[in-house]
Amino acid sequence: MSIDRAVMALAGSFILLSLLLGHFASPWFLLFTAFVGLNLLQSAFTGFCPAAMIFKRLGLRAGVAFE
C-alpha cells in the first residue's frame, strides 16, 4: 500500500466514523468531519500532510502525491 492510498483510507474512515458519531452520539462530532475535509483541502494545495509523514516513518512507500 502506498502513502497516498493509506491517507485516503484513513481520511475516509475518519469521515465515516465522525458522521456515525454525529448521528448517534452528538452533532458536535461533525466538526471532526469538517477538520478532516479542511486538512485534505490544504494538503492538496500545500503538499503538507501530517498523516503522510507518519505513514512515511512507518515505512510505507511513497506514491505520486506525497513524495
Quote the domain boundaries for residue 14. 3-57
Asked whether residue 67 carries a pLDDT value surpassing 80, the answer given is no
62 lies in some domain: no
Name which of 30, 64, 36 is nearest 51 in CA terms. 36
Q: In total, how many domains does the chain have?
A: 1
Q: Write down the pLDDT at residue 63.
A: 83
CB of 14 within 8 A of CB of 32?
yes
67 lies in some domain: no
Q: Kindly indicate the confidence band of residue 54, based on its pLDDT and cuts at 50, 70 and 90.
A: very high
Q: Write down the pLDDT at residue 7.
A: 93
Q: Write down the pLDDT at residue 65.
A: 73
Q: How many CA atoms lie within 13 A of 35 on its CB side?
A: 8
Query: Distance between CA 12 and CA 7 in Å, rounded?
Result: 8
pTM higher than 0.75 for the full model? Answer: yes
Query: Distance between CA 30 and CA 56 in Å, rounded?
Result: 28
